[in-house]
């Protein structure tokens, strides 16, 4: 049986060479369907991996309190952002003082989202985020120090002109790999001394955590004055098991601080650090289903084209079939020959589609910081679908070829 299969594969490859143009067109149609399947699913996996790694670096035992959240469901018309009244500096500080649960609490605010940082003749683009933070911010947000140190309590209390910069800012301002510690840089009209640099955090969904600069929160309030700025509170529990009790206590304390009545909706939102990532990953299932549906529809079209090609091939090779039957080939042997030929053509298209799909998917994923991946599961799915398409396309032509009368076939043409 194995010898027969090998022989049929050799004959199939000969037939492919004999009708090269038609085969190439059919292979390309099949490849397009597999590219749609493998490419889209690979890019989704790369993006999902990037988001998961970036949010997991913050820890699964952290949560934040903000004056906005999301309502609705992605699967039911989309989620909409809802806003509450701003969280004032005093409310954030009151919470930090009253919260006695064994956890780390930090308060922060966004001072600017269009800042330009300068050092001598070097400067960044005007797209740097500047945050006012306290000494606990880096622990609760998942940043790690590369060089230097964190803010001291006195620097936070007196709003000193010191700054901690992200990895991309360091590369931009110090292209010759000069040690940036204790260097003076300009942020807007102010001069700040660099006391620390951060390890690279990577990017997610087009936003880079390495383009951020951090200054003491009091300094941000004094020199980056905004009308009614809002403050965020981040809390990191000691362990993941303590996360839910920590959220419960934070909920109760902050409702009191905000003056929310017993039956009134909370005027703030508490979200876990990985909630957005989990939400995104859950709803990617709909995109995966759509990608598979698109690929199947394309492959069904390919199946029709391949079947038509195989029927033409049967007609053109009628005399060959008659000769084979005359020298002893059985109907089953003829069926296997044409069936394997259809499968071989499908697998050639699948192989091409898988290679191009992996390249396409990883290129898309690289734009949002995704790592290069080889999607074994989607590759196996692509091979399986090509096998199914080959079987569906080849069954009828193979059956028709096996039923040809050898005498009539020999007299053909």
pLDDT of residue 198: 92
Nearest alpha carbon to residue 122 among 68, 164, 176, 76: 176
pLDDT of residue 275: 60
Longest Cα separation, the chain: 103
Q: What angle do CA 220, 224, 228 make, to 5 degrees?
A: 95
- Rounded CA-CA distance 402/302 in Å is 23
SS3 percent helix, strand, coil of the chain, rounded to 5, is 55, 20, 25
- Rounded CA-CA distance 239/249 in Å is 15
For residue 203 the two structure tokens come to 């990017």
CB 353 within 8 A of CB 33: yes
**Helix, strand counts (H, E) of the chain:** 13, 16
Beta strands in 127-221 (DSSP E): 128-133, 145-148, 162-165, 184-187, 190-198, 203-204, 207-208, 212-216
Per-residue burial over 32-49, b = 16 or more CB atoms within 10 Å of its CB, e = otherwise: bbbbbbbbbbbbbbbbbb
Q: What angle do CA 201, 228, 66 make, to 5 degrees?
A: 45
pLDDT under 70 in the chain at which residues? 1-5, 8, 12, 50-60, 69-81, 202-208, 227, 273-283, 368-370, 407, 409, 411-413
- Rounded CA-CA distance 57/207 in Å is 15
pLDDT of residue 411: 67
pLDDT of residue 59: 56
Beta bridge partners of 62: 236
CA distances for 24 relative to 16, 29, 207, angstroms: 9, 9, 42
pLDDT of residue 56: 52
pLDDT of residue 177: 86
pLDDT of residue 278: 63
Nearest alpha carbon to residue 356 among 48, 49, 27, 15: 27
Other residues' Cβ atoms within 10 Å of the Cβ of residue 126: 11
pLDDT of residue 118: 94
Phi then psi dihedrals of residue 325, to 5 deg: -65, -35
For residue 329 the two structure tokens come to 């080939």
DSSP character at residue 208: E
Beta bridge partners of 72: 79
Other residues' Cβ atoms within 10 Å of the Cβ of residue 353: 30
CB 126 within 8 A of CB 115: yes
Look at residue 288 and give its three-state secondary structure. Answer: helix
CB 341 within 8 A of CB 12: yes
């Amino acid at each position: 049986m194995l010898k027969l299969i090998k022989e049929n594969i050799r004959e199939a490859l000969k037939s492919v060479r004999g009708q090269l143009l038609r085969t190439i067109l059919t292979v390309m149609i099949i490849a397009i369907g597999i590219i749609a399947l493998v490419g889209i699913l690979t890019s989704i996996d790369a993006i999902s991996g990037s988001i998961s790694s970036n949010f997991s670096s913050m820890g699964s035992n952290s949560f934040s309190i903000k004056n906005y959240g999301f309502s609705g469901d992605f699967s039911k018309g989309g989620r909409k952002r809802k806003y509450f009244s701003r969280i004032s500096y005093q409310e954030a500080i009151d919470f930090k003082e009253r919260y006695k649960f064994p956890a780390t609490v930090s308060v922060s605010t966004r001072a600017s989202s269009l800042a330009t940082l300068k050092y001598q003749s070097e400067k960044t683009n005007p797209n740097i985020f500047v945050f006012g933070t306290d000494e606990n911010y880096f622990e609760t947000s998942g940043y790690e120090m590369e060089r230097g140190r964190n803010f001291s309590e006195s620097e936070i209390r007196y709003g000193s002109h010191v700054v901690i910069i992200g990895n991309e800012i360091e590369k931009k301002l110090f292209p010759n790999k000069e040690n940036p510690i204790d260097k003076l840089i300009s942020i807007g009209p102010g001069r700040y001394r660099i006391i620390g640099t951060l390890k690279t955090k990577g990017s997610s969904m087009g936003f880079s955590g390495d383009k951020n600069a951090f200054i003491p929160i009091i300094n941000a309030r004094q020199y980056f004055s905004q009308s009614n700025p809002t403050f965020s509170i981040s809390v990191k529990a000691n362990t993941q098991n303590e996360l839910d009790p920590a959220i419960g206590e934070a909920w109760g304390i902050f409702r009191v601080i905000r003056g929310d009545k017993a039956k009134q909706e909370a005027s703030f939102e508490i979200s876990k650090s990985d909630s957005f990532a989990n939400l995104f990953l859950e709803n990617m299932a709909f995109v995966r289903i759509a990608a598979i549906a698109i690929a199947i529809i394309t492959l069904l079209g390919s199946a029709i084209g391949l079947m038509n090609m195989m029927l033409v091939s049967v007609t053109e090779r009628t005399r060959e079939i008659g000769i084979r039957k005359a020298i002893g080939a059985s109907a089953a042997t003829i069926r296997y020959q044409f069936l394997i030929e259809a499968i071989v053509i499908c697998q050639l298209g699948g192989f091409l589609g898988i290679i191009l799909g992996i390249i396409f998917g990883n290129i898309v994923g690289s734009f949002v910081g995704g790592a290069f991946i080889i999607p074994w599961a989607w590759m196996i799915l692509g091979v399986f679908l090509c096998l199914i398409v080959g079987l569906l396309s080849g069954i009828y032509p193979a059956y028709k070829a096996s039923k040809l009368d050898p005498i009539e076939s020999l007299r053909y043409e």
